[in-house]
Amino acid sequence: MKPNQQVFEQFYADIENGKLKSFYFFSGEEEFLLNKNYNFLIDRLLDETGKEFNFNVFDSQNFSAESFLDSYNMYPMMSPYRVLVIKDLESITDTVFSSVDEIFKNPNPSSIVIFISNQVDKKKKMYTALAKHAFGLEFKKPFENQISYWIKYLCKERQIDITDSASDILHFKIGTNLRTLDKEIQKLIDYVGAKKLIEESDVEMVVTDQIRSTMFQYIDLWSERDILKQLKIIEQLDRSGESEFGFLSLLARHFRILHSLKAFAEAKRPKDEFLRETRTPPYFYDKYLKQSRAWSLTDLENQLTTIYSVSNSLKQNAELTKSHLSRLVI
């Protein structure tokens, strides 16, 4: 699921093409994305000189209808626009807001107003007015199945690509905090340099786990091919709120290793060759070899195919998590 993708893309395209609105309304609890888009808009509307002479920020503590309207109706200096921002809108009463709602009836073409509210009370008349007159962007905390979209978005805006498996591992290691993900992506960009592609091995090398989890224990238990243990893992994932995508990504990575090891063993290729080609730490070899003996090569291939299928199904409908994961039990 892509979070309001069309609305965001329209917003960016209109700004870049100079199709500006008189009023913008940013709302929601995801402060990182809200601030990111707010700064994007301000930087496109005003240069540094413009920010000095044509930029006014009001909040619930210093808001005055008279002062706001004076600024709103003032002509801009050395800039095509004046920009006014009203923050903490949720702390301003309908009565106070009604004293400035005349701007909706007769907009000043040289002034642009940005309204910001972390919480929205739809019972308030001001939000009804903003829904009618302002271009709105809502910044909700992203769901687990939306994080891959935002990781790719944060990479794309820096003109770098990231593989799906690298994105999944990054998601697993960091979680859903977009501000932290953004910082880790910058570290990865500095690490890969001119390569312009972030791969799974880069994430493993650079990013430190920031989530305490029993996920790796789940992977080892799953590999034992005990149906009761597998069903218990699905139940625990469903109850605990752990990242299903992180689990599936690690499970896929683990079974790719087991599949390679099984193929090497059946071809009677040496251990050193396997460790070198798969970049597997030697201390994991005996454990992987034991786990691989519970599966045939065909079974490992079927498990990998099912993992990819379940992952795609979850991206389409995350509400049926338990049902999707149950398909993995073979």
The pLDDT tens digits of the residues spanning 149-163 come to: 899 989 998 999 999
| 86 neighbors 68 (Cβ within 8 angstroms) | yes
- Lookup result for tokens 């493993």: 204
3-state secondary structure of 58: strand
pLDDT in tens, 266-281: 999 999 999 888 877 6
- At residue 316, the pLDDT reads 79
- Whether the pLDDT of residue 1 is over 50: the answer is no
pLDDT in tens, 212-250: 457 778 898 999 999 999 898 888 887 776 778 878 888
- At residue 143, the pLDDT reads 75
| 43 neighbors 14 (Cβ within 8 angstroms) | no
Residue 6 has which token pair?
């069309």
- At residue 294, the pLDDT reads 93
- At residue 165, the pLDDT reads 84
d(CA 307, CA 309) in angstroms, rounded, equals 5
| 249 neighbors 169 (Cβ within 8 angstroms) | yes
Mean residue pLDDT across the chain:
88
Which whole number is the average pLDDT over 114-134? 92
- Whether the pLDDT of residue 2 is over 60: the answer is no
Helices (H), 99-226: 102-105, 125-133, 147-156, 164-174, 178-192, 200-206, 215-223
Which whole number is the average pLDDT over 74-97? 93
d(CA 145, CA 147) in angstroms, rounded, equals 6
Output DSSP code: residue 140.
Answer: P
Residue type, 167: S
- Whether the pLDDT of residue 320 is over 80: the answer is no
Kindly write down the DSSP assignment for every residue of 26-40, as one continuous string. EESS-HHHHHHHHHH
pLDDT in tens, 181-203: 999 999 999 999 999 999 988 99
- At residue 319, the pLDDT reads 66
Q: Which residue from 83, 92, 82, 85 is spatially nearest to 127, judged by alpha carbons? A: 92
Which whole number is the average pLDDT over 12-33? 93
- At residue 48, the pLDDT reads 92
- At residue 302, the pLDDT reads 94
Lowest mean pLDDT among 56-70, 169-183, 220-234: 169-183
d(CA 55, CA 47) in angstroms, rounded, equals 10
Q: C-alpha distances in angstroms, 63 versus 31, 32, 91, 93, 303?
A: 22, 24, 10, 11, 60
Gyration radius of the chain's alpha carbons: 26
- Whether the pLDDT of residue 290 is over 90: the answer is yes
Q: Which residue ranges form the domains of the chain, and what is each CATH number? A: 5-138 (3.40.50.300), 143-211 (1.10.8.60), 213-330 (1.20.272.10)
The percentage of residues in the chain with a pLDDT greater than 90, rounded to a whole number, is 59
Better-scored residue on pLDDT, 135 or 281: 135
